[in-house]
Structure 1
Amino acid sequence: MGVPKRRMSKQKKRQRRGANWKIEAPKLVECPQCHVLTVPHQVCAGCGYYKGKEIVAK
């Protein structure tokens, strides 16, 4: 089993852990009713439709 030869410094440990903190842009899909970009699985902010049904009257 592999055993570390030297103790990992605080700086190296933080660099390794902090390397995976990335900001990701939200995924957007086009609404089939009004063709506005919206977040998937959410009611469309432009027309109020979700899966072909009007959920919120606009």
Structure 2
Amino acid sequence: MAVPKRKMSRSNTRSRRAQWKAAAVNVVTCVNPACREAHLPHTACPACGQYGPKGERRQVLDA
């Protein structure tokens, strides 16, 4: 395992640790005017099954 040659200062340690922060999950609204549910981007809407703005041509059906 690697061993550091010099002691890392508090400011360097804290600035490195400051990068570890949680980010909020991005959500988008469904483009279906009847639905308008919030869902994750690049996934089908869990409420109506629509993926993207193309409407009936891109409906995701349960198999």
Identity level (%): 31
Partners of 2:38 and 2:7 lie apart in 1 by 46
The aligned length equals: 51
Counterpart residue type for residue 28 of structure 1: V
For the aligned residue pairs, the C-alpha RMSD in angstroms reads 2.0
Q: Does 1:55 align with 2:60?
A: yes
1:1-58 matches, cutoff 5 A? 7-9=6-8, 11-33=10-32, 34-51=35-52, 52=55, 53-57=58-62
CA distance in 1 between partners of 2:13 and 2:48 (Å): 46
* Structure 1 residue runs without a partner (length 5+): 1-6
* Larger strand percent: 1
Give me the TM-score of the superposition, normalised by structure 2.
0.62
Q: Deviations over 1:4-36 (max 9, x none)?
A: xxx553644432211111111111111012100
TM-score (structure 1 length as normaliser) = 0.66
Structure 2 unmatched ranges of 5 or more? 1-5
State the shift of 1:39 in Å.
1.0
